[in-house]
Amino acid sequence: MIQKLKNKPAGMRTLATAICGLAAMSILATPAAHAAKSEGCTGGGFVISGLLNGITVPSGSTVTIPASNIGPSFQILGKYVEFNVVSSTFGIENYLFTGAASPEDITGGKRTVVFQSKAPDLKGATLTSGINVSNDDGDLIIKRTGTGVSMKIQAKDCAQGGIFQMEPERTDKTPTRVTHTLASGIFYYDNPNFRAREGDFVPYKDTTQEVTARVNIGNDVSRKFVARDSTQVATRINSPTCANNITTRTGATVVVQHCGQVAIFDVTSGGRMGFVTGEDSVEVAPPPTNCTHKCQAQNRVRGRSTVLGNPFPVPAASRLKPAMP
């Protein structure tokens, strides 16, 4: 779970001076909707690289990067996760797992690019301020603003779990459209394990939860690799040109309008577009509550929810087509 910043020792508080005079500031994290399992985060920590004037921001930093040191893009480099950030929009490019050794690894030790891009449409606005950074070992928060818009990204450097979150906010309170494009070899599918139990009520904490259909992300290389897009106060936009006939447990057919490599979402101002991987992505749990201000984290329920898992290989009938709208 992404937590509030810890107090840093005096030596750490001088970091801003060492990094070309970057000004230190306190930033409180908005908790993520899911948490990563601690065993999968061992040794994790991000470095921000690719800034102008040779600046890098190491793990353990709380700083503001001046706009004058920000080029068109920069890199977030971790032990388990890496991705590039488009400076003017906070769009994400080449989000990947490094395949670093971990008991929680889902890649089979393979470097795996998952997203070609996560692209927010800021409706002509651009981010122009300095970038507020809280780089607290394996927990990263970056925030930047522009005229009428702000973007926040939260990330965890872990082998699996709830490890990424994009949060757009606009002064006009209109939604932000975010388009996810998967990398080559990665695909969306309608999880048959959930279809086989659809409508059942399964144990969840001290009550039960109904099983509903689930779209997951998979590949044909790593047996344990599974993920999903996780929304909070956001709506997926159907793609009519990607109409898939999916058979339910009753033998009836439903039409799922979802492409194989592209998903489009409208995110309410203050809402969240998350990325959940591994066991968390195939557990049966209630969705996050509708919240756009001072939201609290969803309680961890590992061991207290039902995990339906993922098929491997994914059956052809469950793979969503065509790849693009």
Element counts in the chain: helices (H) and strands (E): 3, 21
User: What is the domain count for the chain?
Assistant: 1
- Letter for the amino acid at 182? L
pLDDT digits (tens, 9 = 90+) for 7-22: 333 333 333 433 444 4
Residue 36 in domain:
yes
Residue 5 in domain:
no
The owner of tokens 């991000």 is 46
Nearest to 138 by CA among 10, 50, 36, 226: 36
How many residues belong to the chain?
325
Residue pair 277/155 in contact (Cβ under 8 Å)? The answer is: no
Percent of the chain with pLDDT over 90: 81
Nearest to 320 by CA among 274, 229, 278, 257: 257
Residue 1 in domain:
no
Predicted TM-score (pTM) of the model is 0.87
Range of the domain at 185: 10-318
Examine residue 322 and say whether the peptide bond preceding it is cis (omega within 30 degrees of 0): yes
pLDDT at 36 over 80: no
Residue 323 in domain:
no
| Helix (H) / strand (E) containing 150 | strand 149-156
Residue 57 in domain:
yes
Q: What is the pLDDT of residue 17?
A: 39
pLDDT digits (tens, 9 = 90+) for 42-80: 999 999 999 999 999 999 999 999 999 999 999 999 999
Listed range (73-77, 104-108, 134-138, 151-155) with the worst mean pLDDT: 134-138
Tokens at residue 23, please?
Answer: 């000004």
Nearest to 269 by CA among 166, 142, 158, 136: 166
Residue 45 in domain:
yes
Contacts 24+ apart (CB under 8 A), 311-314: 311/191, 311/192, 311/193, 312/218, 312/223, 313/220, 314/187, 314/189, 314/218, 314/220
Residue 2 in domain:
no
Q: What average pLDDT does the chain have?
A: 88
- Residue scoring higher pLDDT (73 or 303): 73
C-alpha 182/C-alpha 178 separation (Å) is: 13
pLDDT at 302 over 60: no
pLDDT at 318 over 70: yes
Q: What is the mean pLDDT of residues 201-218?
A: 95
| Helix (H) / strand (E) containing 17 | helix 15-18
Residue pair 6/13 in contact (Cβ under 8 Å)? The answer is: no
pLDDT digits (tens, 9 = 90+) for 229-270: 999 999 999 999 999 999 999 999 999 999 999 999 999 999
For 196, which DSSP code?
T
Q: What is the DSSP string of 209-224?
A: EE----EEEEESS-TT
The owner of tokens 């692209």 is 119
Q: What is the pLDDT of residue 292?
A: 62
Q: Over the range 76-100, which residues count as b (16 or more CB within 10 Å of their CB) and which as e?
A: bbbbbbbbbbbbbbbbbbebbbbbb
- 81 Cβ contact list (under 8 Å, min separation 6): 95, 96, 97, 98, 155, 156, 157, 158, 163, 164
Residue 75 in domain:
yes
Q: What is the pLDDT of residue 287?
A: 79
